[in-house]
């Protein structure tokens, strides 16, 4: 995950000449038997040495603050902005989508229950962004994690943008996912019941996270899932959130940093694979509709205990739409349909901001030591009858036994 510094440029620097008393090291002053002058004396000396009056300095500071606020508002994604009617074209005449993009967002997939409106004002969007970014930055130093909460980085040092949408779901109009079908409810209840009887981390065969097992990347399709980047939420963007889009006259390819996943999308009208052929990232077919690239993906796997996006099944179909919003942004939309899971289709819309190249190497392979240690540790805890305090089955444990199984 790359970081970019975007906060320091252009900030006014006030050159203040102060007396030697203000800058001399305290140790040197003490060695010379000198006493530090009062703070108000230092401040007065600085005021006299400044080439601006207080009123001038305050006015310039207010102007700089207004400029920075305007820059922040300009970065906010406005869903009402129309896409380009005449976007740049490739040499063969298709809209040019080629480039590098970031798929992370701080906007939740579903509209929060405490929010009633579908859109924030730009100022509210910035406030929501800051709140989510601050929450995301509060990492427990005792927990090993590899994401952009490390190294003291700030969310503003990435190209992730505030969004006027209060949630990514645009259909249903409530901003929430539609109800589960009876089959979907039963499947989810069964999974929760299984989790209460056996820790899925005790065996690789029942380990439900294909990302940790290095079989798949996180978020190959759909590209934007909502939630805090790097969080443990099922809808999070993950920790490697960059893609590169290639184009030829008859194909589009999307290369993901996460696990180096690649989606190759034919544009030549060939039919989907037979229903008997299933793939982890599905089978994609694309076509141009005006200036919009439409990609339909079917033929997903459904190998328990691993699940597709949001717990969907092999009946999942995802239709994506890519449009050029401006020189630095694609508008990305997708519709999810799975009659085995939801009572109706639902749709999402979000920006894909451009970033600078390149994609950095993603190193991951099966049998990595982290997975081996995780499974072995869970097996030892299960043998000793010690459960992680966060495990639902640990509710009845007390004392030392309940606290002896912290997971990494």
What are the tens digits of pLDDT across the range 158-213? Answer: 678 899 999 999 999 999 999 999 999 998 888 777 767 666 667 666 666 677 67
Query: Beta-carbon neighbour count of residue 195 at 10 Å?
Result: 15
Q: Which two tokens stand for residue 364?
A: 């991951």
**Does residue 333 share a domain with residue 393?**
no
Q: Which neighbouring-strand residues pair with 245?
A: 99, 254
DSSP annotation of 216 reads S
Distance CA 325, CA 119 (A): 19
**Does residue 230 share a domain with residue 198?**
yes
**Does residue 183 share a domain with residue 65?**
no
- Spatial neighbors of 381 by CB under 8 A, at least 6 apart, are 199, 387, 388, 404, 405
Predicted confidence at residue 405, as pLDDT, reads 31
Q: Which domain covers residue 56, as residue numbers? A: 20-75
β-pairing, 346-353 vs 169-171, is antiparallel
Distance of CA 184 to the CA centre of its chain: 26
Predicted confidence at residue 305, as pLDDT, reads 62
- Helical (H) or strand (E) element with 27: helix 26-31
**Does residue 398 share a domain with residue 307?**
no
**Does residue 28 share a domain with residue 176?**
no
**Does residue 216 share a domain with residue 71?**
no
Does residue 291 contact residue 87 with C-beta atoms inside 8 Å?
A: yes
Domain membership of residue 362 (yes or no) is no
Predicted confidence at residue 252, as pLDDT, reads 98
Residue that the structure tokens 């893609």 belong to:
243
Boundary (domain end) residue, out of 75, 109, 141: 75
Domain membership of residue 207 (yes or no) is yes
Number of independent structural domains in the chain: 3
- 3-class SS at 275? coil
- Spatial neighbors of 197 by CB under 8 A, at least 6 apart, are 393
**Does residue 109 share a domain with residue 59?**
no
**Does residue 152 share a domain with residue 295?**
yes
CA angle 355, 359, 361 (to 5 degrees): 155
Domain membership of residue 15 (yes or no) is no
Domain membership of residue 2 (yes or no) is no
Domain membership of residue 358 (yes or no) is no
Instruction: Compute CA distances 266 → 23, 99, 221, 293, whole Å.
Output: 67, 18, 16, 12
Does residue 102 contact residue 242 with C-beta atoms inside 8 Å?
A: yes
- Spatial neighbors of 138 by CB under 8 A, at least 6 apart, are none
Domain membership of residue 324 (yes or no) is yes
Q: Which two tokens stand for residue 348?
A: 């999402």
Predicted confidence at residue 193, as pLDDT, reads 78
Does residue 335 contact residue 346 with C-beta atoms inside 8 Å?
A: yes
Among 280, 181, 163, 286, residue whose Cα is nearest residue 227: 163
Domain membership of residue 88 (yes or no) is no
Predicted confidence at residue 374, as pLDDT, reads 74
**Does residue 259 share a domain with residue 171?**
yes
**Does residue 317 share a domain with residue 247?**
yes
Low-confidence spans in the chain with pLDDT less than 50: 1-26, 145-153, 230-237, 398-408
Distance CA 209, CA 310 (A): 13
DSSP annotation of 352 reads E
Distance CA 101, CA 394 (A): 43
**Does residue 341 share a domain with residue 293?**
yes
Does residue 253 contact residue 245 with C-beta atoms inside 8 Å?
A: yes
**Does residue 301 share a domain with residue 256?**
yes
Distance CA 322, CA 95 (A): 10
Domain membership of residue 227 (yes or no) is yes
């Amino acid at each position: 995950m790359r970081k970019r510094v975007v906060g320091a440029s252009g900030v006014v620097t006030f050159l203040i000449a102060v007396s030697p008393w203000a800058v001399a090291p305290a140790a040197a002053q003490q060695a010379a038997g000198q006493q530090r002058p009062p703070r108000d004396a230092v401040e007065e000396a600085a005021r006299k040495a400044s080439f601006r009056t207080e009123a001038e300095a305050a006015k310039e500071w207010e102007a700089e603050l207004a400029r920075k606020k305007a820059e922040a508002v300009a970065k906010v994604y406005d869903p009402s902005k129309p896409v380009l009617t005449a976007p740049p074209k490739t040499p063969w005449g298709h809209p040019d989508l080629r480039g590098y993009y970031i798929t992370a967002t701080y906007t939740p997939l579903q509209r929060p229950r405490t929010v009633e409106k579908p859109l924030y004002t730009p100022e509210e969007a910035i406030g929501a962004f800051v709140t989510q970014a601050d929450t995301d930055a509060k990492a427990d130093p005792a927990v090993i994690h590899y994401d952009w909460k490390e190294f003291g980085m700030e969310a503003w040092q990435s190209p992730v943008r505030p969004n006027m949408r209060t949630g990514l779901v645009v259909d249903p109009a409530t901003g929430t996912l539609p109800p589960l079908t009876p089959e979907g409810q039963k499947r989810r209840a069964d999974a929760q019941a299984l989790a209460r009887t056996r820790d899925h981390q005790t065996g690789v065969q029942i380990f439900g996270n294909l990302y940790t097992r290095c079989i798949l990347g996180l978020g190959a399709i759909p590209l934007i899932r909502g939630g805090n980047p790097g969080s443990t939420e099922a809808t999070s963007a993950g920790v490697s959130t960059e893609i590169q889009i290639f184009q030829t006259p008859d194909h589009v390819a999307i290369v993901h940093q996460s696990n180096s996943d690649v989606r190759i999308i034919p544009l030549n009208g060939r039919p989907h694979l037979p229903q008997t052929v299933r793939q982890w990232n599905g089978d994609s077919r694309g076509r141009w509709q005006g200036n919009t690239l439409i990609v339909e993906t079917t033929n997903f796997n459904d190998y328990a205990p691993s699940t597709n996006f949001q717990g969907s099944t092999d009946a999942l179909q995802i239709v994506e739409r890519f449009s050029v919003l401006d020189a630095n942004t694609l508008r990305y939309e997708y519709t999810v349909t799975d009659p085995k899971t939801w009572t109706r289709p639902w749709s999402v819309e979000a920006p894909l901001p451009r970033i600078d190249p390149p994609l950095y190497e993603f190193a991951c392979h099966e049998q990595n030591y982290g997975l081996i240690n995780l499974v072995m540790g869970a097996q030892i805890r299960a043998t000793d009858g010690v459960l992680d305090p966060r495990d639902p089955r640990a509710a009845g444990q007390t004392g030392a036994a309940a606290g002896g199984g912290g997971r990494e």
